[in-house]
Amino acid sequence: MKTSIQWFRWVGIPAFFLVVLTVLPLIFKTGFMINALINVVRWTIFALAFDLVAGHIGAVSLGQPIFYGIGAYLTAYLASELGLGWLGCMLVAAVLMALLAILAGLAFFRIRDVTFAIGTLGALIVTQLVANSAEKITGGALCKTGIPRPEIILPFLAKAIKIIQPIQYYFLLLPFLGFTILLYLALTRSRIGKAFTAVREDEARASAIGIYPLRYKLVAFAISGALIGALGSWQAQYVTVFCPSDMGQDITTALLIMVFVGGAARLSGVVVGAVIFSILPPFLQVMGSQYFQPAYQEILYGIILITVMLYMPDGLDGLAGRLFRRFQHHKKEGG
Amino acid sequence: MPFQLEIFFDNLLNGLTLGALYSLVTLGLVLTFSVIGIVNFAHGDLFMMGGYTFFLLNNSPLNLPYPVIALLVIILTAVYSMIIERVAIHPIINRSWRTYAITTIGLSIILQNGALAIFSADPKQTPTALANQIITPFGIRISLQRLLILLVVVIVFIGLQVFVKHTKLGKTMRAVSQNREMCQVVGINVYRIALITFGIGGAITGLAAALITPLFSVYNTMGSMLTIKALAAVVMGGMGQVNGALYASFLMGIVESFFGGYVAFAYKDVVSFGIFVLVLFLRPRGLFGKKIGL
């Protein structure tokens, strides 16, 4: 019984989630729907990658948008100067960001906890300020423009398909989400995941039983960096414009909220958090635009956030788990 | 460019006042950080609230003199800070720093947008008579307001040292910072200490707002950068070391001033945070952090 529930939890729910995401845009073809779905998928990938480091390793890196931004700028260069294809751009961005993550990790993993978080936040601000000032490379505050749109060349078609519509972009992104979920599960449900947990809970004890903490930290950091770099590459090709403000601190804030309010180090928690908090802002906007101005929507968002933190200590996922257990408990007592 | 002594002193003085300014903002943060361990991402927004309070009082028809306004701002900001502690920090005080971070980020969103709704986005300026009075000793131009800031930082710093080392409340706060559970065992009300710490931190932040607002403009998002710089100073100084955080603030101010003056103005913040990151690499426990053996 228990195994079937677990099976459903680890395979069924992600599969169901992906199927829903595939079917929804085919039924509701409004622009609003597609945009909302793109938001959901993008943030889910981002949050899962962030959670690999923040949730599983316990090193809350507030600097993850660095990989996003550099991935995007790299794509702008590779696609427009070297004429590399969309998939090539994403792969190169992923590989280079993994390397950057390893280098950065070697330096940053000397510090821990709050120091690590604020140190990586400092690194993010340095990167963003440099992107803002280095006008020759990044276009500065006026943004990098004219990033080429992806083209897909299929052998049985004479002409390449130019990706223009949001829905086309969406279906480019969806397999990436599938890949991310698979990778996330493969990593965290295996021996490596157990090692991650050991490192997070107690580094000294982990190394005592032969787990070298730095190695696992670097593995998680590199994979997270690669995923986020590839996502940045996709983003650059989707919007065709990338600004220093697109790799800002507000991304970090959103990620923190999604992962820790949803439930860190659990696939269901991260996905729930990402879905809710990527839909909530546009939802508040649409619902609230008749009644109040944007500032009040943000205030409402903040209030929701604090309320969740005060009353649901283990996140939304933990709350769901508690309710589920209570329900099962009642059923057992009743029957 | 030939080396000019005047420009050098200009930059040095500018850096010192900038450092003094940062250290005043940092002081409130490092207090709550070291005593209760709160990573407060809404600290800069508390400063922003103090700034707007100053703006309102300064433009009020009552025509209050500057010292009275400053005193009112200090008291009111302390009250805001204590309200914040009661509402948002008190219920989560025994949780991890991640909870602190997210809760205070939520708080920061509320405060920034509250200010946006009330005061709109355009910056408000409130120059006082003191800020416009410029004296030129030895050919260096400096406004009296900046001199006042330098003076006040020294006084506050000495006052805080005396308070922390020689009063019962100060000693209690140090005890709480070292071991909260043991303090509870011997009958110290940790929640009361947390409230008081937030009150003192708020008062210092209010003082900072009253001193600094006349020199700069007030706008709703001004807190973000200040929060991060203050956090950087706290970490650079060695996690909750009050003195260390102050030296780090001065270091940032002076480096920013010299780099902005001599090399490239656009990159001054880059260098300031660059030094922060560099310090973390060279001394992971901060400039003045004590090494704790494993």
CB contacts < 8 A, A to B, total 121
Q: ipTM beyond 0.90?
A: no
Which residues in chain B touch residue A121, judged by CB atoms under 8 angstroms apart? 228, 231
B278 and A CB contact within 8 Å: no
- Tell if the CB–CB gap between A306 and B106 is shorter than 8 Å: yes
End-to-end CA distance of chain A: 16
* B 36-55 near A (Cβ less than 8 A): 39
Distance in angstroms (rounded) separating the CA atoms of residues A140 and A130: 9
Give the model's pLDDT for residue A327: 78
Q: Give the residue carrying structure tokens 């004479």.
A: A158
Q: What is the pLDDT of residues B169-210, one digit of tens each?
A: 999 998 888 888 889 899 999 999 999 999 999 999 999 999
Give the distance from residue B49's alpha carbon to the nearest chain A alpha carbon, in angstroms: 16
Distance in angstroms (rounded) separating the CA atoms of residues A150 and A105: 32
**What is the domain range of residue A48?**
2-334
- The CATH code of the domain that includes A190 is 1.10.3470
b/e code A80-91 from CB counts within 10 Å (16+ = b): eeeebbbeebbb
Q: How many residues does chain B have?
A: 294
Q: Which two tokens stand for residue A319?
A: 């709350």
Show me where the domains of chain B are located.
Answer: 23-223
Nearest to A123 among B239, B266, B277 (CB): B277
Within chain A, which residues score under 50 in pLDDT?
A: 1, 335
Asked if residues A147 and A74 have their Cβ atoms less than 8 Å apart, the reply is no
Distance in angstroms (rounded) separating the CA atoms of residues A168 and A170: 5
A241 and B CB contact within 8 Å: no
A109 and B CB contact within 8 Å: no
Which residues in chain B touch residue A310, judged by CB atoms under 8 angstroms apart? 88, 91-92, 103
- Tell if the CB–CB gap between B110 and A113 is shorter than 8 Å: no
Q: How many residues does chain A have?
A: 335
Within chain B, which residues score under 50 in pLDDT?
A: 292-294
- Tell if the CB–CB gap between A115 and B273 is shorter than 8 Å: no
Q: How distant is the alpha carbon of residue A117 from its chain centre?
A: 17
Give the distance from residue A51's alpha carbon to the nearest chain B alpha carbon, in angstroms: 13
Distance in angstroms (rounded) separating the CA atoms of residues A229 and A71: 4
Predicted TM-score (pTM) of this structure: 0.89
Query: How many domains in chain A?
Result: 1
End-to-end CA distance of chain B: 51
Q: Per DSSP, what are the bridge partners of residue B135?
A: B142
Give the model's pLDDT for residue B60: 84
Best CA proximity match to A45, nearest among A267, A315, A264: A267
